[in-house]
Amino acid sequence: MLNDTTQIFPEIREAVRRLCARFPGAYWRALDRERQYPTEFVTALTEAGFLSVLIPEEYGGSGLGLAAGAAVLEEIHRAGCNGGACHAQMYTMGTLLAHGSPAQKQMYLPKVASGELRLQAFGVTEPDAGTDTTRIATFARREGDHYVVSGKKLWISRAEHSDLMVLLCRTTARADAAKPSDGMSVLLVDMREAVGNGLTIRPVRTMINHATTELFFEDLRVPVANLIGEEGQGFRYILSGMNAERILIASECIGDAKFFIDRASAYAKERQVFGRPIGENQGVQFPIARAYVQMTAASHMVDRAAALFEAGQPCGTEANMAKLAASEASWYAADMCVQTHGGFGFAEEYDIERKFRETRLYQVAPISTNLILSHVATHVLDLPKSF
């Protein structure tokens, strides 16, 4: 194991490690094979209170800051587990917390904090809009005290395992809005009522076990009382929640990178070829050392972004850069770990090929690398915009 004496939240980290030890590789491999949801793992995290660390105490959470949430997710990933099944239960409520009415917060947040309600579906992406969110076409038409929603969404993860979904849709057509980013609204959809009454969920099988789905809306009725904030301002609300998501997912990448570095270091010391440990060869040790350097640099960026977020300072650029650096560090470490293990890197029982597949996601979702580079190029370096 790496020496992490400088890390904050040692008690939380230790408690997460103890919990994760109950869910070893064999547990994840069995689920991965069948693409099944890790219900027992998610229940254990919920009962231990780890998914409600960001919810203020007045609503039943522990009211800790983003860095505590990052520590939880990092340790989950470092242990070889996967927080993707439930990380959104931690942060999706941020939209409600920041922009919901007092009545909405009182109605939902205590139940999200206790785990009675799962608010871990986040419906933004659409097949025809891709990264250009202003092109979403799912439309909510006002009819009396309801919105009537039609359209489709793609890659909406955990929809089958959520009681509530934060849904971004258009309430004014793009062509009729003053700006492309105007005219979108956020609705809180009660999945328990919606499925079979205008909402159909179709699972999408992917290279990782991520419970992701496609959603079809056909005249789904959502009470106007479930509108979050003001109509037409939804894009702004969703953007404000994305910084937390990026920082937390970056921390999962740091955990993944540590997992790969731990495994590669241990194996390089123990595996004997040509009568000596393979780790005696600099050709084997240098990639491990490089992975450590990259992970450490990215980890400082994650800490910096989390500190700015907690201080209420603008942190969009830092959150994006941290996510880019951490996802590249984890991918480099994954590739290094496979190489260090030779043929065994491909064997399911080592868990490395599974984690290798899982960590690849983070260069695409929740935002792809190119879009982060574009942000840095145009917003930080003032280069000309390409779109």
Just list the catalytic residues.
245
Least separation in angstroms between residue 373's CB and ligand FAD is 8
Per CB under 6 A, which region of 104-112, 177-185, 205-213, 289-297 contacts ligand FAD?
A: 205-213
Nearer to ligand FAD, 167 or 264 (CB): 167
Q: Which of 170, 165, 182 is nearest to 137 (CA)?
A: 170
* Beta pairing partners, 141: 148
Least separation in angstroms between residue 273's CB and ligand FAD is 37
367: contact with ligand FAD by CB under 6 A: yes
Near ligand FAD in 319-358, by CB under 6 A: none
Please select the residue that binds ligand FAD; options are 210, 263, 323, 341, rule is CB under 6 A.
210
Residue nearest to ligand FAD (CB): 130
Per CB under 6 A, which region of 245-253, 283-291, 310-318, 361-369 contacts ligand FAD?
A: 361-369
Q: How far is CA 138 from CA 141, 172, 174, 217, 365, in A?
A: 10, 10, 11, 8, 21
Judge residue 17's burial from the number of C-beta atoms within 10 Å of its C-beta, 0-12 exposed, 13-18 middle, 19 or more buried. middle
Per CB under 6 A, which region of 111-119, 121-129, 251-259, 278-286 contacts ligand FAD?
A: 121-129
Contact 105, 59 (CB under 8 A): yes
How many CB atoms sit inside 10 A of residue 215's CB?
26
125: contact with ligand FAD by CB under 6 A: yes
Least separation in angstroms between residue 104's CB and ligand FAD is 21
Nearer to ligand FAD, 49 or 241 (CB): 241
In the stretch 146-165, what mask flags binding to ligand FAD with x, by CB under 6 A?
---------xxx--------
Per CB under 6 A, which region of 139-147, 261-269, 286-294, 364-372 contacts ligand FAD?
A: 364-372
- Beta strands 212-223; 146-157: pairing state: antiparallel
Least separation in angstroms between residue 184's CB and ligand FAD is 13
361: contact with ligand FAD by CB under 6 A: yes
Query: Which residues make Cβ contacts (< 8 Å) with residue 186, sequence separation at least 6?
Result: 95, 99, 166, 167, 168, 227, 228, 229, 234, 237, 238
Per CB under 6 A, which region of 13-21, 74-82, 109-117, 359-367 contacts ligand FAD?
A: 359-367
Q: How far is CA 248 from CA 75, 83, 88, 282, 306, in A?
A: 12, 10, 10, 34, 9
Nearer to ligand FAD, 41 or 155 (CB): 155
Query: Which residues make Cβ contacts (< 8 Å) with residue 242, sequence separation at least 6?
Result: 319, 366, 367
- 117 sits in the region (left: phi over 0; alpha: psi -120 to 50; else beta) called beta
H/E run at residue 243: helix 234-270
Near ligand FAD in 212-271, by CB under 6 A: 212
Q: What is the DSSP letter of 5?
A: T
* Tally of residues, the chain: 387
366: contact with ligand FAD by CB under 6 A: yes
In the stretch 280-299, what mask flags binding to ligand FAD with x, by CB under 6 A?
--------------------
* Beta pairing partners, 148: 141, 221
Q: How far is CA 182 from CA 195, 231, 281, 325, in A?
A: 28, 9, 58, 31
Distance CA 319, CA 182 (A): 24
130: contact with ligand FAD by CB under 6 A: yes
Least separation in angstroms between residue 229's CB and ligand FAD is 18
Please select the residue that binds ligand FAD; options are 368, 375, 376, 377, rule is CB under 6 A.
368
131: contact with ligand FAD by CB under 6 A: yes
Contact 363, 339 (CB under 8 A): no
124: contact with ligand FAD by CB under 6 A: yes
Backbone angles phi, psi at 36, to 5 degrees: -105, 155
Number of residues this chain uses to bind ligand FAD (CB under 6 A): 23
Give the interface with ligand FAD as residue ranges (CB under 6 A).
122-125, 130-131, 155-157, 206, 210, 212, 361, 364-368, 370-371, 374, 386-387
